[in-house]
């Protein structure tokens, strides 16, 4: 189980969106189709309950429903990693539900608590690890997490990888050095745009929301990186620059919105993004997005 997830993490961890119907509820049949599309494309690891899936805008029952549908729709083709988080007790409840649903691994969201101690994040992960035997990927988003914290993290047996989402390759290199000699893997948690510099530092694999819209393009970028064809990878990444830049609007509040509106342009009635994310793009932004998709 551990070796299989390690292999998958060297590939693309595609985070599916959550479609909503006209009443604002999770559209289960359409979610099944979304995940099926990602799995059919050959994405290596499907992440359910991720930020692109609007984890923090959903109640726990909706998150668990996402686990169940993702595992069912995937049908064993890729690995399925379930995002867990919030309070320690809620994260443990979600971890148990993910295991019951048939997930292959857990991704532990970094707590968004405004009074979160970077040092105690490791203790938070340990509590969850004590409740499960599933492999764990730690999602690191805070620059306050230092190399010494990751050295401690590497001592937790179930933790197989860090999804590093701090846009600082120098700090990433320091953290990788601090865990050298351990089996801890490092993957780019900032999607395709940061994958090239992160690969140069020793990370492998990357997360992606683009897989909801154009999984083939994401796979082409991954293939170029794995071949160390950096010129080809740069050229492919230039093609997604405007798309990814648009996702950063309003302090990343448009991150999911751009993906979902692109899918709607493609004919997928996935519904709006829930607040506090940007609920919809402006007419000019939507027009620009159409031009980006035409260019692909």
pLDDT tens for 69-105 read: 999 999 999 999 999 999 999 999 999 999 999 999 9
CA–CA separation, 12 and 180 (whole Å)? 23
Residue for token digits 């794995």? Answer: 226
How many residues comprise the chain? 296
Beta-carbon contacts of 282 under 8 Å, excluding residues fewer than 6 positions away, are none
For CA atoms 240, 246, 251, 253, give the dihedral sign: negative
Residue for token digits 């999911």? Answer: 256
Instruction: Enter the DSSP assignment of 273.
Output: P
Instruction: Enter the DSSP assignment of 13.
Output: E
Return the percentage of the chain with pLDDT > 70, whole number: 100
CA–CA separation, 56 and 62 (whole Å)? 11
Q: Whole-prediction pTM value?
A: 0.97
pLDDT at 205: 98
- pLDDT digit string (tens) for the chain, length 296 residues: 899 999 999 999 999 999 999 999 999 999 999 999 999 999 999 999 999 999 999 999 999 999 999 999 999 999 999 999 999 999 999 999 999 999 999 999 999 999 999 999 999 999 999 999 999 999 999 999 999 999 999 999 999 999 999 999 999 999 999 999 999 999 999 999 999 999 999 999 999 999 999 999 999 999 999 999 999 999 999 999 999 999 999 999 999 999 999 999 999 999 999 999 999 999 999 999 999 999 99
pLDDT at 1: 81
pLDDT at 175: 98
Residue for token digits 């690969």? Answer: 199
């Amino acid at each position: 189980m551990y070796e299989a997830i390690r292999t998958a993490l060297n590939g693309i961890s595609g985070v599916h969106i959550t479609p909503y119907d006209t009443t604002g509820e999770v559209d289960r049949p359409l979610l099944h189709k979304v995940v099926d599309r990602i799995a059919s494309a050959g994405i290596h690891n499907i992440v359910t309950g991720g930020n692109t899936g609007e984890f923090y805008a959903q109640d726990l029952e909706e998150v668990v429903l996402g686990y169940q549908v993702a595992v069912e729709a995937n049908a064993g083709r890729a690995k399925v990693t379930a995002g867990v988080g919030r309070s320690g007790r809620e994260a443990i409840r979600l971890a148990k539900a993910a295991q019951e649903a048939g997930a292959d691994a857990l991704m532990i969201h970094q707590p968004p608590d405004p009074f979160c101690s970077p040092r105690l994040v490791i203790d938070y992960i340990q509590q969850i690890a004590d409740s499960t035997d599933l492999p764990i990927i730690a999602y690191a988003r805070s620059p306050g997490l230092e190399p010494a914290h990751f050295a401690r993290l590497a001592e937790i047996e179930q933790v197989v990888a860090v999804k590093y989402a701090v846009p600082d390759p120098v700090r990433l290199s320091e953290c990788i050095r601090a865990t050298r000699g351990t089996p801890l893997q490092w993957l780019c948690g900032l999607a395709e745009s940061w994958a090239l510099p992160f690969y140069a530092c020793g990370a492998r694999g990357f997360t992606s929301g683009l897989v909801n819209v154009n999984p083939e393009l994401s796979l082409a970028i991954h293939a170029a990186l794995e071949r160390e064809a950096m010129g080809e990878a740069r050229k492919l990444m230039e093609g997604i620059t405007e798309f990814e830049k648009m996702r950063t609007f309003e302090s990343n509040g448009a991150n999911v919105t751009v993906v979902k509106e692109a899918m709607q342009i493609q004919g997928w009635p996935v519904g709006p993004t829930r607040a506090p994310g940007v609920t919809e793009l402006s007419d000019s932004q939507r027009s620009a997005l159409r031009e980006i998709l035409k260019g692909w």
